[in-house]
Every structure is written in C-alpha cells, then in structure tokens.
C-alpha cells in the first residue's frame, strides 16, 4: 500500500499537528485506568462493540497530553477496523505503519501505542509480548472478544498485563450525562420523579454511549439494529466462518427475548431442530462477542456448576429491546438484567441460586457469598412478598448468611425474619451506590 496514503490515514486518526476538538463525555472507568498508565506492562480494555472503548482511548490520550506533559507526537493510535487496513492486516503491516510514524513524526522518543480492536490483527499477541519485554514503550489495547478477558490472554502475554472490562455506561453515568443530581440523599429525594423516569429510559435504551447521545428514537433504533448486525456478521460470522448465519441470528434473538431465564441446550436444540454441537458452539460465539453472558448455578461443587442449566443475560438492554419480541412481563426481567450487569462490573463472582428455593443472585465479594433477590412485583401483595422473601431466605440458609438484600420497584425498609436481617431497597437507588 502506498506510503503517502498510509501516512494520510495515520494523520486522520491522530492529533499530532492540531488540538483535538472532539467533545467527549467523561467515563468513570477512565479514572481507574489512569493510575496504571505509567506501569511497564500492557493495558487491555475489553468490551462489547460500541461500548465506548475508542472514546476511552481518546480520554486517556487527552489526559497524557494535558496532565502528564506528554507530547502529542508520542501518541500513536492505530485503529484495526480501518477499512483500508483490512486487506493488509499482519505484523509486517503493523511494523510498516510504525516505521512510517518513526520516519515522519517521532524518530526516537518513547511511544504510547493505542491499538484499537486488536483482535483483527493476526498474531498481535507476539508483537505485544515482544514490545512489553523490551519495556521501551507503553501499550494500551482494546478488543471486542471476551477471549481477551479470559485466561487465554494471560497465557498469550505470559501474565504481564492488566485487563479492564469496558461495559456500557451504568445508571450513575447515565444520570451524570443527563445532568441529574443524585449524589446526596437529599438529591435523590428531591429528584426522585425524574430519576425514576430516567431509570425507565435506561431500561428501554440501555447504556451504549452513542445511543445516549442521540435524541431521535427512530435513529436510535436504526443504530441499535446496525450494532446487532455488526456484532453478528463482523464479530462472529466472518471471524469464525459460520455456515448457518440464519441459525446464529435466530438463536441470538431467542436468547435476547428470553433474557434472565434458565436455558438447557438440549431443549434449545429441539426448538431449532439442529445439533447440540451447533447450539453449544453458536452460544459460545455469542458469548465471545459479549452480546450475552452466561451464569452458572451456585454450588460448592464445581462439577454441579458445570452440569447445571445456564442463566443468560444481555450486556445491553437497549440492544435487546430493539431486536427482540416484547412481552408485558418484561419489566422484572429487565430489572434483573441491569442488576446482573451492575454485579458483572463490580462483584468478584456471580451465580444464580436454585436449591430448596430460588434466588436471583449469589454474589461473591471480598471472599464472602451474599444473596440478592430482584423483584418488580407489587410487594404490598402479601403472596408476592412472601414468595420473594422465601427464595431469599432459602439462599441465606444454604449460605449460612444472616443478611440478605431484596431489590424492589419502590419499597424501602429493613426487616427481621427468622433471625435474619433483610434490607429492601429500590433497584434504581441501589444502582447509585458501590457494593
């Protein structure tokens, strides 16, 4: 590829000769990443497509130039989803881009590499590992594959990295972007009606950044449909050479319609009249793309966890709502899903509980297991209240835990039942705190 064209692409993606005028919304995760920018090892930012990874790179680059006195010419952003790069992606091509940058922009100073959507570059791990071993430059990479969050990346980089999960914006960030005060108890009381309205919007549209910066609802839906197609066909069909793309799409829509539900692969195989292997492989690919994620049943025996049915959640409720069939009883499932997303971001481990009773979550935090029930039901109805409480108490007894949490639509109180302390708190209010 012509060197001048490549240099023009690099100039377009970087801000070497100009001050960036891009308006960027702050992200909480950025402040957790910043302390590691001077660490010797690579940083990996991994999340679903369009979750804001590229904007986070821009915020980190801005921090380095404005707060750390790093020259913009020391920053090199390479986007491996650039269409003109696609036919050439290889380590040799990467080296060629770096040589052009060295020749034209930064001959000899330390480089801060920002490598966006690295999974598109075959053999990237060897190059990153080599550069990390030399300890001459800083590497921050992003990717949309959950493989980069697993033990596989630890093996590829021999453990020398730190991974940050990039989720869609949470409810706190949603309110910050809407300029709604919520930080104090008085704020939450005075602004409760508008906060609840915002929570309904958050359930409906999710937390993908571009959606929350787009006002027109029709345009939002078009964007979400495009995201869904990109995840299926660019992140899965093309990458894994899927033969039956229609089955993959139907399975994705099935899972997203039936979110926060238990699924048995054998039953799903019968629904779609296909092989068990196809269902397992396609489910794995959907999980790899981070469109969905699976929860295991809680058990102290690993073998029981592996044999149990999986409970499936979606990474973004807006994506789910845009492409799934909708039912009147969805609200409870959506409540449960946003709580699952919260715990996915903040808890050490997460399971569902199904033993003598059923409880939505068992959370592991700081070495302890804690049960959490979620309900959108009218808890003034004694039957509904007792049903939710009994499931929670069953989990508390099994875990030998004296405290439990019931997340409600609007009820807030503390009760003692059978010498067990239960806090009841509205879901929206719970999401405005850290565990």
How is the chain split into domains, by residue range? Answer: 3-165, 327-435
Q: Which helix (H) or strand (E) element contains residue 130?
A: helix 124-134
Tell me what pLDDT residue 17 has: 73
Tell me what pLDDT residue 93 has: 95
For residue 237, pLDDT over 80 is answered with yes
Contact 205, 318 (CB under 8 A): yes
The C-alpha atoms of residue 371 and residue 400 are separated, in whole angstroms, by: 10
Instruction: Kindly report, residue by residue over 5-58, the tens digit of the pLDDT.
Output: 999 999 999 989 766 656 789 999 999 999 999 988 899 999 999 999 999 999
Q: Beta 138-143 vs 162-165: how paired, if at all?
A: unpaired
Tell me what pLDDT residue 159 has: 59
Q: Which of 191, 141, 195, 144 is nearest to 172 (CA)?
A: 195
* CATH 3.30.450 for the 327-435 domain, yes or no: no
φ, ψ for residue 330, nearest 5 deg: -65, -25
Tell me what pLDDT residue 425 has: 97
Where are the extended beta strands (E) located within 47-111? 75-79
3-state DSSP call for residue 84? coil
Tell me what pLDDT residue 154 has: 61
Tell me what pLDDT residue 161 has: 82
For residue 147, pLDDT over 70 is answered with no
Instruction: Kindly report, residue by residue over 238-263, the tens digit of the pLDDT.
Output: 888 999 999 999 999 999 999 999 99
> In CATH, what is the architecture of 3-165?
3-Layer(aba) Sandwich (3.40)
Tell me what pLDDT residue 434 has: 57
CB atoms within 10 A of CB 29: 22
Cα–chain center distance at 54: 14
Tell me what pLDDT residue 146 has: 61
For residue 202, pLDDT over 70 is answered with yes
H helical segments located in 259-400: 265-272, 276-288, 302-307, 317-323, 330-346, 382-399
Tell me what pLDDT residue 417 has: 92
Instruction: Kindly report, residue by residue over 107-127, the tens digit of the pLDDT.
Output: 999 999 999 999 889 889 889
The C-alpha atoms of residue 189 and residue 187 are separated, in whole angstroms, by: 5
Instruction: Kindly report, residue by residue over 337-362, the tens digit of the pLDDT.
Output: 999 999 999 999 999 999 888 999 99
- Beta-carbon contacts of 206 under 8 Å, excluding residues fewer than 6 positions away, are 168, 316, 317, 318, 319, 320, 321
Residue 22 structure tokens: 């891009």
Q: Which of 179, 185, 134 is nearest to 160 (CA)?
A: 134
Question: Among 120-129, 152-161, 163-172, 308-317, whose mean pLDDT is lowest?
Answer: 152-161
Question: How does DSSP classify residue 49?
Answer: T
- The dihedral through the CA atoms of 247, 314, 326, 227 has a sign that is negative
Split at pLDDT 50, 70, 90, the class of 307 is confident
Calculate the average pLDDT of the chain: 92
Split at pLDDT 50, 70, 90, the class of 321 is very high
Torsion of CA 240, 244, 246, 247, to 10 degrees: -90
């Amino acid at each position: 590829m012509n060197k001048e064209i490549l240099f023009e692409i690099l100039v377009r993606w970087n801000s070497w000769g100009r001050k960036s005028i891009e308006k960027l919304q702050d992200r909480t995760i950025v402040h957790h990443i910043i302390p590691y920018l001077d660490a010797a090892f690579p940083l990996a930012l991994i999340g679903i497509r369009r979750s804001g990874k590229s904007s986070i790179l821009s915020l980190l680059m801005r921090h380095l130039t404005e707060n750390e006195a790093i020259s913009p010419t020391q920053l090199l952003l390479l986007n491996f989803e650039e269409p003109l790069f696609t036919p050439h992606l290889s380590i040799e091509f990467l080296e060629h881009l770096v040589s052009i940058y060295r020749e034209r922009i930064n001959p000899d100073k330390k480089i801060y590499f920002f490598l966006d959507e690295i999974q598109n570059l075959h053999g990237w791990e060897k190059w990153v590992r080599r550069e990390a071993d030399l300890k001459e430059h800083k590497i921050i990479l992003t990717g949309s594959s959950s493989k980069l969050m697993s033990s596989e990346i630890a093996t590829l980089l021999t453990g020398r990295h730190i991974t940050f999960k990039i989720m869609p914006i949470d409810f706190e960030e949603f309110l910050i972007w809407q300029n709604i005060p919520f930080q104090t108890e008085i704020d939450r009381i005075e602004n409760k009606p508008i906060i609840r309205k915002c929570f309904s919007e958050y359930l409906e549209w999710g937390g993908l950044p571009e959606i929350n910066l787009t006002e027109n609802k029709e345009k939002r839906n078009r964007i979400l449909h495009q995201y869904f197609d990109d995840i299926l066909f660019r992140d899965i069909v093309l990458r894994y050479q899927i033969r039956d793309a229609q089955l993959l799409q139907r399975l994705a829509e099935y899972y997203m319609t039936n979110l926060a539900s238990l699924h048995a692969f054998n039953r799903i195989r019968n629904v779609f009249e296909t092989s068990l292997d196809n269902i397992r492989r396609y489910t794995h690919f959907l999980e790899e793309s981070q469109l969905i994620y699976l929860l295991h049943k809680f058990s102290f025996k690993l073998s029981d966890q592996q044999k149990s049915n999986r409970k499936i959640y979606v990474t973004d409720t807006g994506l789910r709502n845009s492409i799934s069939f909708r039912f009147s009883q969805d609200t409870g499932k959506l409540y449960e899903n946003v709580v699952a997303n919260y715990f996915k971001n903040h808890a050490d481990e997460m399971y569902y509980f199904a033993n003598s009773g059923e409880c939505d979550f068992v959370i592991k935090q700081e070495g302890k297991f804690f049960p959490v029930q979620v309900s959108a039901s009218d808890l003034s109805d004694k039957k509904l209240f007792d049903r939710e409480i009994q499931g929670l108490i069953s989990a508390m007894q099994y875990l030998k835990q004296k405290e439990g949490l019931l997340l409600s639509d609007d009820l807030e109180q503390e009760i003692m039942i059978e010498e067990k302390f239960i806090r009841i708190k509205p879901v929206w209010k719970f999401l405005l705190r850290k565990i």
